[in-house]
């Protein structure tokens, strides 16, 4: 019986149930989409690396000590003569010396492809084994110093064909090659948009400036030989600081490293997904509250003709569950679309996602179902209980409505929840109990509770605040404005709930904006203070600048000081004696004092000239109990040990970390290919800016991967990157924001339905359709501005707390981005007007007579 009633009631309220279902499906699909995306990307990369290492038996490479590749450490190469040593090991059939270096293809228009985007590799070509997924698609293998094979993605991108002459930028500059072949994977996959050029193995070392070394030695063993036996034999033949791994181990390691990145990416997505789910929970909750409120008389009628409270409760819950199940199923599959959409958005923003097969794991389905159905259950159980307690005589009372379901103003509850939330948030940020997990848990749960608490509190302030926001609107727009203002403040709880959905999105955007802009301003002011250089040459290739760039800058007389900055990793004994990973920058000790101002407070960079000197950031030195003149034992990433003497202390570690050594020391301890992170240069006295820039531009002209910027341009670029970061966060929050405007539209549509009679009366006494539409539009605007105002206040607080929580070296000054806040308000007004479009249209199309006759 109850089922029949539920079914009838669902079909009778078709339109409203579609809205509710959409709100649920939106929330669920974003959660499901985040999981789908992270799982799919991980699976795709796993497969990719499994395939790449499938035909690799063993790999010999340099060891990394105390650090790994995800820290940004680059392995030393292995010396070329080792190839013969390994080849002589019994059971080894073939050894290929591999290196992956920088080689960027220039397209027909003269532009280097890839730009600052995905990596551009240069490899030595060895004929792939027949069972390899990687094969020559077209043409022949490269022979001699002037031939090249490029991979399919590069060919597609540049439209080069076999036989063309193509320019490629290598470490020594631009060189022309003849394209003789195109190589590709059988499955047509590309790796994150990376492009690769292959050169004849006999000449590749010369072309790619890798003479005398290989990055790795790839070993094929004899047929029938035992892998482990050969591996042990190879290991026995290897010198110190080199290691041998099986292809399987190499593949697993790469997958693990990527897994870490993908997990971080997935976690980030999930946070935004949960925000979206949280926002949709607000909307679902609100919509159920309103619709049940509108049905109270009907429910009371059921009671009066003999239905018991349990039956009424069951009726509501069953109805909601039917909608929830359908919507959740839709949402789970909608997640596949959301995942595609996110990939598309990221690709539009310049990220090179590989084409990914969508993967829907059972875990994704389970989580989505829990969220979809759980949220509905939570939204519906309480109002259902209250509705079932309505006495049957209430059926006769016309004034019964949504407000009858509310339990007072919840001022105390709201204040307590907000208090706990804010406290947890601050504890998470500043105390960080248990490190990062504590930060995430306390910060996240604290923010969540704050939002819930603020929502309760805003019920109390909704009346005065919405009246205040509406005051100028009433003044300007007369009666429609007045009606809008009155209606917006009519049900403070409804207004507060509807606005709260928007409040969350706005709060997060404002917090991110405060954080990002504080970061930017701190960074640019640090740059202004700490960099005296006139020019900064940055690397766009991700592999570092070749030394030729710095050499050509050193050689021009218009510059008085030049220093490249290189990086190496290592460990030092920590305060408790256990090794602590550090990043060490190498600089030219002669010129660096002219180029940077790191607030050296003791000693000077001149101390580095002796070779074993090191400059240390004051706080780090204090932690490790180091003073000027003390010695410190460093183990570099390649295992080389050295004892360095502290030659001075500095107070500003914002440029390139806590440790500085000389370039000479670095080349003494490391055999890795010389790569510059960036290069600083200062114009000599008496040289005009025009002369200097002409000379410097000419010096780097043959290196398109080197981006030349003056100090101001560099700062502008950093600002641009911060803007991009903010844009990314905004994109991810846009689902939640869109959902909250959807919520405004639904709530308004329900209100319009509820006020049918009133609307009929207004029309009867002479309100025009236009005035009516306007009043509904302005009601939406008032609710939206309310959400934005509360959101901005909460978000500013959060953003300021966040900015204060990070160390001063990262953020030392707090910026409130007023233009962004103004933009958000303007955007909210426009979006609210759009959200009101359907309800306003519906109201203005109402037949006056029928509206008046409505019970």
Question: Which residues in this chain contact other proteins in the complex, by CB under 8 A?
Answer: 399, 478-479, 482-483, 486-487, 490, 757-758, 761-769, 771, 848-849, 852
Contact call for residues 564 and 545 (beta carbons, < 8 A):
yes
Say how far residue 527 (Cα) sits from the centre of its chain.
25
Distances, alpha carbon 403 to alpha carbons 299, 407, 696, in Å: 16, 9, 72
Q: Which is nearer to other proteins, 477 or 515 (CB)?
A: 477
Given the complex with other proteins, which of 488 and 692 has the nearer CB atom?
A: 488
> In the chain, what is the greatest distance between 2 CA atoms, to the nearest angstrom?
102
Structure tokens at 307: 């239905």
Closest CA to 30 of 255, 317, 337, 489: 337
Alpha carbon of 557 to those of 190, 548, 553: distances in Å? 45, 16, 9
CB contact at 8 A, 71 and 567:
no
For residue 64, which of 667, 830, 637 has the smallest C-alpha distance?
A: 637
Q: What sign for the dihedral angle of Cα 533, 539, 543, 549?
A: negative
Of 236 and 476, the one with the shorter C-beta distance to other proteins is 476
Neighbouring CB atoms inside 10 A of 721's CB total 13
For other proteins, the closer of residues 404 and 731 by Cβ is 404
Instruction: Give the position of tokens 């800058």.
Output: 553
Q: Which two tokens stand for residue 181?
A: 């072949």
Side-chain half-sphere exposure of 327, counting CA atoms within 13 A: 28
Vertex 551 angle, CA 704 and 646, to 5°: 115
385 or 482: CB nearest other proteins: 482
CB of 498 to other proteins, least distance (A): 17
Of 228 and 399, which CB lies nearer to other proteins in the complex structure? 399
Residue 521 tokens read as: 């301003």
Nearer to other proteins, 309 or 848 (CB): 848
Secondary structure of 585-654 in the HEC alphabet? EEECCCCHHHHECCCEEEECHHHHHHCCEEEEEHHHHHHCCCCCCCEEEEEECCCCEEEEEEEEEECCCC
Q: Which two tokens stand for residue 172?
A: 């020594």
User: Do 581 and 71 meet the contact criterion of CB atoms below 8 Å apart?
Assistant: yes
**Which CB sits closer to other proteins, 325 or 852?**
852
> Residue 536 in contact with residue 565, Cβ under 8 Å?
no
How many residues in total does the chain contain? 855
Which of residues 520 and 774 has its CB atom nearest to other proteins in the complex? 774
E strands present in 446-544: 535-539
Closest distance of CB 478 from other proteins, Å: 6
Cβ nearer to other proteins, comparing 696 with 776: 776
Closest to other proteins by CB, 718 vs 852, is 852
d(CA 370, CA 318): 17
| Residue 737 or 772 with smaller CB distance to other proteins | 772
Nearest to 802, CA basis, from 517, 537, 544: 517
Q: Is the dihedral of CA 818, 822, 828, 834 positive or negative?
A: negative
Shortest distance in whole angstroms from residue 849 CB to other proteins: 5
Q: Report d(CA 686, CA 584) in Å as an integer.
A: 35
Nearest to 673 by CA among 827, 804, 567: 567
297 or 769: whose CB is closer to other proteins? 769
Q: How far is the CB of 460 from other proteins (least distance, A)?
A: 20
**Burial environment of residue 49 by CB neighbours within 10 A (0 to 12, 13 to 18, 19 or more):** buried
Contact 613, 603 (CB under 8 A): no
Please, which residue, 341 or 848, has the CB nearer to other proteins? 848
């Amino acid at each position: 019986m109850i089922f029949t009633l539920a079914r009838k009631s669902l079909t009778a309220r078709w339109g409203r149930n579609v809205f509710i279902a959409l709100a649920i499906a939106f929330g669920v699909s974003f959660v499901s989409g985040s999981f789908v995306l992270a799982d799919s990307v991980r699976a795709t990369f796993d497969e990719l690396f499994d395939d790449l290492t499938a035909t690799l038996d063993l790999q010999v490479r340099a060891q990394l000590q105390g650090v790994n590749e995800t820290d940004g450490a680059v392995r030393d190469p292995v010396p070329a003569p080792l190839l013969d040593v390994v080849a002589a090991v019994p059971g080894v059939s073939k050894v290929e010396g591999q290196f992956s270096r920088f080689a960027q293809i220039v397209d027909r228009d003269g532009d280097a492809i890839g730009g600052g985007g995905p990596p551009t590799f240069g490899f030595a070509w060895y004929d792939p084994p027949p069972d390899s997924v990687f094969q020559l698609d077209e043409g022949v293998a490269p022979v001699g110093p002037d031939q090249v094979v490029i991979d399919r993605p590069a060919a597609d991108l540049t439209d080069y064909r076999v036989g063309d002459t193509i320019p490629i930028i290598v470490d020594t500059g631009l060189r022309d090659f003849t394209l003789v072949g195109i190589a590709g994977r059988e499955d047509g996959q590309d790796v994150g948009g990376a492009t690769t050029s292959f050169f004849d193995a006999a000449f590749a070392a010369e072309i790619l400036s890798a003479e005398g070394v290989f990055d790795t030695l790839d070993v094929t063993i004899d047929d029938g030989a035992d892998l482990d036996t050969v591996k042990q034999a190879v290991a026995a033949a290897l010198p110190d600081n080199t290691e041998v791994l099986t292809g399987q181990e190499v593949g697993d390691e790469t997958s693990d490293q990527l897994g870490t990145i993908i997990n971080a990416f997935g976690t980030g997505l999930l946070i935004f997904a949960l925000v979206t789910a949280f926002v949709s929970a607000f909307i679902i909750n609100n919509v159920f509250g309103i619709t049940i409120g509108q049905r109270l008389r009907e429910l009371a009628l059921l009671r009066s003709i003999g239905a018991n409270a349990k039956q009424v409760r069951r009726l509501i819950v069953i109805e909601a569950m039917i909608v929830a199940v359908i919507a959740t199923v839709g949402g789970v599959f909608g997640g596949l679309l959301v995942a595609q959409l996110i990939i598309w958005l990221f690709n539009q923003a310049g990220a090179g996602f590989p084409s990914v097969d969508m993967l829907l794991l059972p875990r994704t389905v389970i989580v989505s179902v829990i969220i979809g159905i759980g949220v509905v259950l939570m939204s519906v159980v309480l109002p259902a209980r209250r509705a079932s307690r309505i006495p049957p005589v209430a059926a006769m009372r016309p004034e019964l409505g949504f407000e009858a379901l509310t339990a007072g103003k919840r001022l105390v509850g709201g204040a307590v929840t907000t208090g706990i939330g804010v406290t947890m948030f601050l504890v998470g940020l500043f105390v960080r109990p248990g490190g990062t997990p504590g930060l995430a848990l306390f910060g996240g749960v604290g923010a969540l509770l704050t939002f819930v608490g603020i929502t309760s509190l805003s019920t109390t302030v909704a009346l005065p605040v919405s009246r205040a926001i509406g005051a100028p609107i009433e003044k300007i727009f007369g009666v429609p404005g007045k009606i809008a203002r009155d209606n917006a403040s009519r049900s403070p709880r409804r207004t507060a709930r509807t606005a709260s959905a928007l409040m969350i999105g706005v709060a997060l955007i404002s917090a991110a904006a405060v954080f990002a802009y504080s970061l930017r301003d701190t960074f640019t002011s640090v740059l202004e203070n700490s960099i005296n250089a006139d020019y900064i040459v940055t690397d766009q290739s991700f592999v570092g600048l070749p030394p030729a760039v710095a050499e050509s800058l050193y050689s021009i007389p218009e510059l008085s000081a030049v220093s490249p900055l290189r990086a190496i990793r290592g460990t030092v004994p920590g305060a408790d004696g256990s090794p602590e990973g550090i990043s060490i920058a190498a600089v030219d000790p002669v010129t660096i004092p002219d180029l940077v101002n790191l607030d050296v407070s003791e000693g000077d960079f001149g101390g580095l000239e002796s070779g074993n000197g090191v400059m240390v950031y004051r706080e780090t030195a204090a932690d490790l109990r180091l003073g000027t003149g003390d010695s410190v034992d460093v183990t570099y990433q390649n295992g080389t040990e050295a004892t360095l003497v502290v030659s001075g202390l500095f107070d500003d570690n914002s440029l390139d970390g806590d440790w500085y050594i000389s370039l000479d020391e670095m080349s003494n301890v490391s055999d890795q290919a010389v790569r510059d992170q960036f290069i600083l240069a200062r114009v000599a006295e008496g040289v005009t800016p025009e002369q200097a820039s002409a000379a410097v531009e000419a010096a780097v002209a043959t290196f398109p991967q080197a981006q030349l910027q003056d100090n101001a341009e560099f700062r502008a670029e950093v600002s641009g990157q911060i803007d991009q970061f903010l844009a990314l966060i905004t994109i991810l929050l846009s689902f939640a924001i869109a959902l909250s405007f959807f919520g405004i539209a639904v709530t308004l549509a329900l209100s319009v339905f509820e006020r049918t009679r009133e609307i009929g009366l207004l029309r009867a006494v002479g309100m025009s359709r236009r005035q009516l539409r306007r009043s509904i539009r302005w009601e939406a605007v008032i609710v939206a501005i309310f959400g934005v105002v509360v959101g901005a206040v909460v978000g500013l607080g959060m953003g300021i707390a966040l900015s204060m929580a990070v160390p001063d070296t990262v953020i030392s000054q707090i910026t409130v981005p007023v233009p962004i806040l103004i933009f958000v308000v303007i955007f909210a007004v426009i979006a609210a007007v759009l959200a009101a479009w359907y309800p306003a249209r519906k109201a203005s199309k109402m037949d006056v007579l029928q509206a008046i006759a409505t019970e």
